[in-house]
Amino acid sequence: MDYILSKYCPRIEFDSYEDFFENFTINIPQNFNFAYDVVDEWARVEPEKKALVWVDDNDDRKEFTFSDISRMSNQMANVFWEQGIRKGDVVLMILRRRWEYWVCAMALCKIGATVVPATIQLTRKDIAYRCNLAGVKMMVCVNDDYVCEQTELALQDAPSVQGKIVCGGEREGWLSFSDLIASASPEWQRPEGDAATQIDDIMLMYFTSGTTGNAKAVEHSFKHPFGHIITAKYWQQVQENKLHMSVTDSGWAKFGWGKLYGQWMAGACVFCYDMMKFVPAKLLQVMQDYKLTTFCAPPTMYRFMLQEDVASYDLSPIQNFATAGEPLNAEVTVAWERLTGKKIREGFGQSEGPVLVATFPWLEPRPGSMGKPSPLLNIRLLDDDGNFVPDGEEGAICVTHLKDAYPPGLFVGYFGDPERTKEALGGEYYNLHDMAWRDPDGYLSFVGRNDDVIKCSGYRIGPFEVESALVAHPAVVECAVTAAPDPIRGKVVKATVVLARGYEGTPELTKELQNHVKKTTAPYKYPRIVEYVDELPKTVGGKIKRKLIRTNDGIAD
């Protein structure tokens, strides 16, 4: 057990959070390459070990061992090589959750090329933006009409792209993954000397969710997978040879968090449900039928699953539920525990790194709190001048001591944007611009993104607290709390609300919701304006765009 982890981590078992925080360390070799040192190594020592179980909406089901992934990634490395892809070249992949993602990502890792994952909802303009910014040389796409058409149009404006491969079928004008791999040799030599990758070379580039503006290209080096030992082993608590499911499209950093690096280092088998659309009842069915051991999904998915009859599904084999990406309302975790008997463990982080704060195994989950800092990074709450804030007061989450020891897993720059990179990483600390406070026991609670914190009538109001109060009312499925203009007060608190089935947005309900907030939190935080909508504006990844609501209401940042 723990064969790979024990190569790099002197200690794997810990008695307490304090023991873990003080004593967890990783030794990182200069020439570590995930595809050779994890995938090929598992294939060598345990050829039949299961790496991936993949199902889709048509009950197509496939299973891959580490030997399969090792062999197929060798074949695809030969294919990419023949297509002219070399170390340092950039390949953009839009593959939804197709199993070919794992094969191609490992093939490109073997060559030392940079993978840029992207999500399927991108438009022609988004794709061209990514290709031009990152200098993409080749594209690999799922055989989906929308994705392929948008890509073909984008390529008219993206001259750097020299070839395109389609997965999951044939398409005119595209090279076919299945044809290419069928005729490719499974022999591939790990490059040596200058052709070999070094730990600080760029392995991966994520585009951020674009919640606050244009998506940024976050660069990660070959060191990045080490950060995810914490994500997978100690937050999601994946178990060796057991199924772990994280719900995410391959276009997001969450995929690297939940479906690849840490899971495979810990020897867990990744379970993937390649759904066309998120149908809460269907996801619950899959979670039950496949007897998963660990599970992770964003808070919004838990919120929507709770609209179904959760207790009628047998989720008892699932030993750990995790969530990240947005704040988890206490109400959701309390309801989930009532129905499944288990609490949800929250994690916090960004595309820019691995999990930074989490409810680690030794910690009792506290509703409304994210947990405690990861031992890999120095995490502090700082004020605008870079001073520590005392417990109980709000500060920006920062990764400090960058100059002493650069944390494994943290990004190394924003590609094509040296100014932004310098601003973020050029000083002593990296400011995430996410606001939180710490209780005397060291648990951190999220307040809001700095830009989303509402400043009105001399108060600072974190949207998360008001949103959590509203979600605790049975009429509210989800909501966004923002500042709105007011002729007398300047700015007031506004709630944009999606109602549960059977409720109507009447003035009486508005009064009731306002009173409910006044009772649940400090009365000055109550929303003076309540607007009812069918759905909230969200990023393609499903994050609430509070900034868009503010802009539509005429509030400039």
Interface residues with ligand ATP (CB under 6 A) are: 208-212, 215-216, 253, 324-327, 346, 348-351, 370, 432, 434, 446, 449, 543
We find the least distance from the C-beta atom of residue 453 to ligand ATP, in angstroms, to be: 12
Of 99 and 430, which has the nearer Cβ to ligand ATP? 430
**Judged by CB, which is closer to Mg ion: 450, or 521?**
450
* Distance, CA of 450 to CA of 457 (rounded, Å): 18
From the list 33, 53, 161, the residue with the least C-alpha distance to 102 is 53
Residues 6+ apart with CB under 8 A from 221: 199, 200, 201, 202, 203, 412
CB of 64 vs Mg ion, minimal distance in Å: 33
User: 45: how many CB neighbours lie within 10 A of its CB?
Assistant: 11
Whichever of 64 and 207 has its CB closer to ligand ATP, that residue is 207
Identify what 250 binds: ligand ATP, Mg ion, none; CB under 5 to 8 Å per kind. Answer: none
Query: In angstroms, what is the minimal distance from the CB of 156 to ligand ATP?
Result: 26
| Nearer residue to ligand ATP within complex by CB, 370 or 398 | 370
How many residues contact Mg ion, by CB under 5 A? 1
- Count Cα neighbours of 260 within 13 Å in the Cβ-side half-sphere: 27
Query: Is residue 530 a contact partner of residue 497, using CB atoms and an 8 Å limit?
Result: yes
To ligand ATP, the closest distance from the beta carbon of 557 in angstroms equals: 12
- How far is residue 94's CA from residue 121's CA, in Å, rounded to a whole number? 9
Residue-by-residue DSSP string for 55-113: EETT--EEEEEHHHHHHHHHHHHHHHHHTT--TT-EEEEE-TT-THHHHHHHHHHHHTP
Q: Which of residues 183-222 bind Mg ion (CB under 5 A)?
A: 208
To Mg ion, the closest distance from the beta carbon of 208 in angstroms equals 5
- To the nearest whole angstrom, how small is the minimum distance from the Cβ of residue 333 to ligand ATP? 12
CB of 253 to Mg ion, least distance (A): 10
- Cβ distance 2 to 45 under 8 Å? no
CB of 447 vs Mg ion, minimal distance in Å: 16
Q: Are 530 and 510 in contact (CB under 8 A)?
A: yes
Cα gap 284→278, rounded to integer Å: 11
Other C-beta atoms closer than 10 Å to the C-beta of 380 total 19
Q: Minimal CB distance to Mg ion: which residue?
A: 208
C-alpha span between 245 and 265 (Å, rounded)? 15
491's contact among ligand ATP, Mg ion, none, with CB below 5 to 8 A by partner kind, is none
Contacted entry of Mg ion, ligand ATP, none for residue 370, CB cut-off 5 to 8 Å set by kind? ligand ATP
Of 420 and 519, CB closest to Mg ion = 420
Closest CA to 463 of 323, 471, 301: 471
CA angle, 370 then 372 then 377, to 5°: 115
Alpha helices (H) in 351-474, listed in sequence order? 418-425, 463-471
**Choice between 208 and 246, CB closer to Mg ion:** 208
Name which of 164 and 543 has its Cβ closer to ligand ATP. 543
Least CB distance from residue 394 to ligand ATP, whole Å?
14
Q: Which is nearer to ligand ATP, 50 or 547 (CB)?
A: 547
Structure tokens at 364: 């009792």
Q: Which of 358, 375, 385 is nearest to 446 (CA)?
A: 358
| From the list ligand ATP, Mg ion, none, partner contacted by residue 119 (C-beta under 5 to 8 A by kind) | none
Give me the least distance between CB of 97 and ligand ATP, in Å please: 17
Given a contact cutoff of 8 angstroms between Cβ atoms, the answer to whether 75 and 120 are in contact is no
Judged by beta carbon, residue 184 or residue 296, the one nearer ligand ATP is 296
Nearer to ligand ATP, 43 or 381 (CB): 381
- How many helical (H) and strand (E) elements, i.e. helices and strands, does the chain have? 19, 26
Binding stretches for Mg ion (CB under 5 A): 208
